[in-house]
Amino acid sequence: MTPFLLVSRSPEYELRMRELLGARLRVVPGEFMLLGSESVVLRAGDPRIALLGPVLNFDETRSLVRELTERHPDVGVVLVREQRSELEDWVDELSFHAVLSPEASDATTLELIERLSGWLVDNGHAAVEDFEAPPLIDDELERLLAEAALVVAPEIEAPEIAEADGPDGLVQLTAATEAETDAAASATSDWDFPPLDSNVPSEAIAVVAPKGGQGKTTVSINLATGLADVALNSVVLVDADLQFGDITAALGLEPQRTIVDAVAAADDELVLKTTLTHHPDGFFVVASAPSPEFVEQVTPRALARLIAQLRGMFRYVVVDTTPGLGEHTLVAIEQVTDAVFVMNMGVPSLRAVRKEFELLEQVGLTPANRHTVLNFSDRQSGLNARDVERIIGTPIDVEVPRSSAVVLAANRGVPLVHDDVRDPAAKALRALVLRIAPDAHPTRSRIHRRRRNHEPQ
- Which pTM value belongs to this model? 0.62
| Residue 183 scores a pLDDT above 90 | no
Whether the domain at 4-151 and the domain at 203-452 fall into the same CATH topology: yes
Residue 280's closest CA among 450, 457, 36, 455? 450
Per-residue confidence at 343, pLDDT binned at 50, 70, 90?
A: very high
244 neighbors 361 (Cβ within 8 angstroms): no
Lowest-confidence range among 29-33, 335-339, 355-359?
Answer: 29-33
Position 56 scores a pLDDT of 84
Q: Which amino acid is at 104?
A: A
Position 43 scores a pLDDT of 83
| Residue 140 scores a pLDDT above 70 | no
246-265 confidence digits (pLDDT tens): 999 999 999 999 999 999 99
Residue 78 DSSP SS3:
strand
Residues in the chain: 457
By DSSP bridging, strand 283-286 and strand 277-279 are: antiparallel
4-56 confidence digits (pLDDT tens): 999 988 888 888 998 899 889 999 887 778 778 888 888 888 899 999 988 88
Rounded Cα distance, 398 and 365, in Å: 22
Mean pLDDT of 410-414: 87
Per-residue confidence at 173, pLDDT binned at 50, 70, 90?
A: very low
Residue 344 DSSP SS3:
coil
145-170 confidence digits (pLDDT tens): 454 444 443 443 433 434 444 434 33
Position 444 scores a pLDDT of 46
Mean pLDDT of 342-359: 94
Position 167 scores a pLDDT of 38
Give the list of residues 6+ apart from residue 320 with CB closer than 8 angstroms, or none: 207, 216, 217, 220, 237, 238, 239, 240, 241, 245, 247
Q: What is the mean pLDDT of the chain?
A: 82
Mean pLDDT of 439-451: 55
- Output the CA–CA distances (angstroms, integers) from residue 320 to 192, 219, 288, 327, in the order listed: 24, 9, 10, 14
Per-residue confidence at 192, pLDDT binned at 50, 70, 90?
A: low
Residue 99's closest CA among 137, 61, 72? 61
| Residue 430 scores a pLDDT above 80 | yes
Position 15 scores a pLDDT of 87
Lowest-confidence range among 157-161, 171-175, 191-195, 256-260?
Answer: 171-175
Mean pLDDT of 395-405: 94
Domain boundaries, the chain: 4-151, 203-452
By DSSP bridging, strand 203-208 and strand 76-80 are: unpaired
Position 440 scores a pLDDT of 77
At the topology level, CATH places domain 203-452 in: Rossmann fold (3.40.50)
- Range among 31-35, 364-368, 439-443 with highest mean pLDDT value: 364-368
Per-residue confidence at 442, pLDDT binned at 50, 70, 90?
A: low
Per-residue confidence at 86, pLDDT binned at 50, 70, 90?
A: low
Provide the CATH number for the domain formed by 4-151 in this structure: 3.40.50.2300
255 neighbors 277 (Cβ within 8 angstroms): yes
pLDDT-above-90 percentage for the chain: 52
207-219 confidence digits (pLDDT tens): 999 998 899 999 9
Mean pLDDT of 410-428: 90
Position 88 scores a pLDDT of 64
Lowest-confidence range among 81-95, 115-129, 168-182, 399-413?
Answer: 168-182
Rounded Cα distance, 395 and 387, in Å: 10
Position 7 scores a pLDDT of 93
